[in-house]
Amino acid sequence: MPLIDARIPISIVTVPSGTPDAASLVEGDGEVAAGVAAAYFQEVLPSHAPGCACCLPRSAAGAALGALFRARALGTVPFFTRVEVLLATPSAEAALRQAVEADPVAASYFRLG
């Protein structure tokens, strides 16, 4: 029996589809017109001293994906079933791929696809 991967798929796009079931993740802090939710990834600093699990060093992309999932879980954004990522640079794409592969939070909720 094949395994089912229930993680939320992430697509890298140049233009958002505008469908109501897609959230947008954007490099930097730009505006996004489409999607039910938008998150931006840039450098994130911990709000208190390091030492606990929430303060382990995380990439900006990993932190943004975690924040997007948290907003979905809390109902502060409409429910979405996929994420469209709008990237401006190849290094941002590499950071996103690294986050999905190595960040414990991002890897448990999201997959490339």
Q: Quick: pLDDT tens for 6-48.
A: 899 888 877 777 777 887 777 665 544 444 455 555 544 445 5
Residue 112 φ/ψ, nearest 5 degrees: -75, 140
Structural domain tally of the chain? 1
More confident call, 109 vs 26: 109
- Inter-CA distances, 58 with 50, 66, 77, Å: 12, 10, 23
Q: For residue 57, is pLDDT > 50?
A: yes
Residue 17 lies in a domain: no
Look at residue 83 and tell me if it is in a domain.
yes
Residue 27 included in any domain: yes
- Quote the pTM value: 0.72
- Tell me whether residue 11 is in a domain: no
> Who wins on pLDDT, 1 or 95?
95
Containing domain of residue 85, as a range?
23-45+52-112
Query: For residue 89, is pLDDT > 80?
Result: no
